[in-house]
Amino acid sequence: MFDEPVVQLGQSETVRTSAWKRAGLIACVSILGILLLFHDTVLSMEVIWRSEPYTYGFLVAPISIWLIWNKRHQLALLTPRPEFRALTLMLPAGALWLLAHLVYFQYLQQIALICLLIATLWCIVGTQVTKALAFPLGFLLFAAPPLFLIEPLYLPMVEFTADFVVRLLRLTGIAV
């Protein structure tokens, strides 16, 4: 009736597809659970993102998701397999968060939370997939801006940019 050929998935493709569905569901539930469990840390990040120099923080997760989406064809060739060695990183990340929480060091709490999320994903999808996602996952670290590094540089960078633009406009003959 139809002229299109029927493509049947091979056994390995079927296994890979079901592994991705299972890993995706587990990853979504785990990440959502961690974000809910550590909601105070997530909210502290959101408060920082509302200040002028750090508004880029709202874009970090969507950009990371977009980077992962761009790798979807490469990822489709891989089969996610749980990597329980990643649990050895989840425990120190959780302990680091707890220590930072006890001394109220928000930046360290935020970094520990991001590391916990990355280690959780590694535990679920395995080493092979995590290596393929190294850049998008590492990019998530920009969600926790290092205030102690950025604050002293912010005003000098703004002044430099303004001076540079004024000089360029004057070179083109535009009165400023």
The one-letter code for the residue type at 109 is Q
The angle formed by the CA atoms of residues 45, 132 and 38, to the nearest 5 degrees, is 25
Band of pLDDT at residue 53, cut at 50, 70 and 90: confident
Torsion of the alpha carbons at 85, 88, 93 and 95, rounded to the nearest 10: 160
Domain boundaries, the chain: 11-145, 147-176
Taking only the tens place, the pLDDT of each residue in 158-171 is: 888 888 899 998 99
Cβ-based neighbours of 133, under 8 Å, separated by 6 or more: 68, 71, 75, 121, 125
Band of pLDDT at residue 152, cut at 50, 70 and 90: confident
Q: What is the mean pLDDT of residues 116-139?
A: 97
Chain mean position to CA 65? 7
* SS3 assignment, position 50: coil
State if pTM tops 0.85. Answer: no
Band of pLDDT at residue 2, cut at 50, 70 and 90: very low
Rounded CA-CA distance 134/118 in Å is 9
Would the pLDDT of 129 be above 60? Answer: yes
Give residue 5's pLDDT.
38
Cβ-based neighbours of 81, under 8 Å, separated by 6 or more: 19, 125, 126, 128
Band of pLDDT at residue 57, cut at 50, 70 and 90: very high
**What mean pLDDT is reported for the chain?**
89
Between 149 and 120, residue with greater pLDDT: 120
Q: Which residue has the tokens 């990643």?
A: 86
Q: How far apart are the first and last CA of the chain?
A: 72
Rounded CA-CA distance 174/161 in Å is 17
Taking only the tens place, the pLDDT of each residue in 6-32 is: 334 455 778 888 999 999 999 999 999
Between 147 and 173, residue with greater pLDDT: 173
Rounded CA-CA distance 38/131 in Å is 26
Tell me which DSSP letter residue 133 carries. Answer: T
